[in-house]
Amino acid sequence: MKQFLAQFFTWWNGQTLGTRFYTWRKGQFVGEDEFGNKYYRHTQAEAIDPNVGAERRWVVYNGEADASKVPPGWRAWLCHNGDVPPSEEPYQPHPWERPYIPNMTGTPHAYRPTGSSLSTGQRPAATGDYVPWTPGE
First to last CA, the chain: 64
Q: What is the pTM of this model?
A: 0.65
Stretches in the chain below the pLDDT threshold 50: none
User: What per-residue confidence (pLDDT) applies to 7?
Assistant: 56
| DSSP secondary structure string for all residues of 41-62 | EEE-SS-SBTTTBSEEEEEE-S
